[in-house]
Chains A and B, each alone.
Chain A
Amino acid sequence: MPRPVTRLMMSLTAMLGSIAVAVSGAAESAKTVSEAFVTNQTGDSLSVVSLSDMKSVAEIAIGGKPAGIAMSPDGKLAYVTSPESKEVVVVDARARKVANRFKVGEAPLGIAAHPTNGRLYVADWFTHSISVVDPGAGKVIAQIPVGESPSGLAVTPDGRLLLSADRDSDQVSIIDTATNARLGTVAVGKRPFGVTIDAGGTRAYTANVASDDMSVIDIAAGKSVGTVAVGHRPYAVALSSGRAFVTNQYAGTVSVVELDGLRVVQTIEVGDHPEGIAIDPSAANIYVACWFDNVLMRIDTAKLAITGEAAVGDGPRAFGLFLR
């Protein structure tokens, strides 16, 4: 059973109080991206999409029904989870080749890369734990027990904290990356799947599949500070300046949420079963993988309209941060 969060969080708040203010999104926006790496689950492959012209430029065979994805901080490697073969597959992004693959746990799905320490975190929905992975050595170096069926993972921009959406416990676990100790848990909506942290590292957002809403977490306080109803069966969240974009699988839409006041300002019709969603660092475009229609769609964040789409492989999920 998770321990009560309050006492733990008081020390966490003290620790983070000054740091959270010091971190800004400036470093993020300095980066540019040019490609999307889209995991095609039923297609057993990884599609590489050139973002400038929305064309698929490569399809790399992966195997094991790939779903989750993360990029190395330098953008040179893509890390893919293959739940059926119980592997993490390392892809050389520029060479478009599988560089390494190794076993991780029983059912690896959500994956996140640490911004500085070189480690990967892989959520295992079957063993209810997170594997800490050294991708260079190709092995698991630690296991962190969390709640039931951890799904989405996210690391704060300063690298201090790892958040896990513990889907079947309706909570988010907050983990200290220095010690791999779980600092506490935060109750959210029903069946949180994707979790996304803002550029300042202050708030996190979960897409709650079974309650059709998005929860807002104050990370330092270790508590949920708001909920907003979105579309049917939300999957994941991307954040731009002051807004959240949420993919709704069954509705075939993306909800645009104004974070100040937490209200849905627009609902954009996209393809069937939109899932993985990511924003480019300039915040000009959002990219959405539509699982049923086998496309990656581009949404202009100013116009709130679809401005392009690229055909990808079968069953694109792109669960994680998939732009480089």
Chain B
Amino acid sequence: MVRAVALGLAVLAVFPTLASAHGPTRQKATETVEINAPADKVWAVIGNFQDMSWHPAVAKLEGNGGNDANATRTLTLTSGGTIEEKLIQNDPAKKLYKYEITKVDPKVLPVNNYSSTLSVKGEGDKSTVEWKGAFYRGFMNNDPPPELSDEAAVKAVKGVYRGGLDALKQKVEAGG
């Protein structure tokens, strides 16, 4: 039994994203921003899966597959780390896209099994952008170190969302 558990842990360590994680509890994060601009104008900035230039933490993006389902992108962050992501669904009519992280080092973003939706809803000259995500913490077993705890995961994801949304508002309201 002990050996089986040890083997299980070894497998987890090698393929952390394969474990669909049911030790820790899945967490959520949602952030929004109100922008004084029509939704079309906002969607024009954020709606392309292959363009994250609106986010100040993203230094570079390399991608494949455009905006079709299963398109991929690799984000290189200004801090130097990378995040690999895959497009689940792009719905321009609803002005939303869903994507997931396929590979990330917990030191870069302390999460596992992360999926997210970025969307914009408009009313006349105003719009609301919502960025939400579902994810497990960076450490998939019991008793995580503090930097890989549930709280650390939520804080990190909210930080990414907040930084992006605040910069987006500034950019769009400044004309683009």
Interface residues of A (CB under 8 A from B): 41-42, 65, 67, 83-84, 106-107, 109, 125-128, 145, 148-149, 151, 167-168, 191, 193, 209-210, 232-233, 249-252, 272-273, 291-292, 315
> Do A125 and B132 have beta carbons less than 8 Å apart?
no
B117 at interface by CB-CB < 8 Å: yes
For chains A and B in complex, what number of residue pairs have CB atoms within 8 angstroms?
70
Q: A250-B98, A250-B115 are in contact. Are A83 and B22 (CB under 8 A)?
A: yes
Q: Which residues of A contact B100 (CB under 8 A)?
A: 250
Q: Beyond A251-B88, A292-B134, is A128–B8 a contact (Cβ under 8 Å)?
A: yes
Q: Which residue on chain A has the smallest CB distance to residue B25? A: A65
Majority secondary structure, B binding face: mixed
CB contacts (< 8 Å) of A209 on chain B: these are 20
Nearest-CB residue, chain A, relative to B7 = A148
Which residue of chain B is the closest to A67 with respect to CB atoms? B22
Chain B interface size band reads: 20 to 34
A151 contacts which chain B residues (CB < 8 A)?
22
Chain B residues in 8 Å Cβ range of A210 = 18, 20
> Which residues of chain B from 94 to 142 have a CB within 8 Å of any chain A CB?
98, 100, 115, 117, 132, 134, 141-142
Lowest 6 A-B CB distances belong to which pairs? A65-B25, A209-B20, A250-B115, A125-B22, A109-B22, A191-B20
A selection of 9 A-B contacts at a CB cut-off of 8 Å is A41-B25, A67-B22, A84-B25, A126-B5, A126-B23, A127-B5, A128-B8, A249-B115, A273-B134
List, in ascending order, chain B residues with CB within 8 A of A42's CB. Answer: 25-28
Shortest distance from the beta carbon of A294 to any chain B beta carbon, whole Å? 10
Let me know if A148 and B26 touch, CB within 8 A: no
Task: Evaluate contact between B25 and A291: CB separation under 8 angstroms.
Answer: no
- Set A65, A145, A168: member contacting B8, Cβ < 8 A: A168
Is residue B174 contacting chain A, with contact meaning CB distance below 8 A?
no
Tell me which residues from 11 to 58 in chain B have a Cβ below 8 Å from any Cβ of chain A.
11, 18-20, 22-23, 25-28
Minimal Cβ-Cβ distance residue in B for A66: B25
Q: List chain B residues, Cβ under 8 A from A127.
A: 1, 5
Whether A83 touches B23, Cβ cut-off 8 Å, given contacts A149-B8, A210-B18, A292-B134, is: yes
> Which residue in B11, B20, B26, B117 is a CB contact (below 8 Å) of A272?
B117
B99 (CB) vs chain A CBs: closest residue: A250
User: Shortest CB–CB separation between residue B87 and chain A, in angstroms?
Assistant: 11
Given contacts A42-B28, A128-B8, A250-B115, contact A107 B23 (CB under 8 A): yes
Whether A128 and B88, one on each chain, are in contact in the complex, defined by CB atoms closer than 8 angstroms, is no
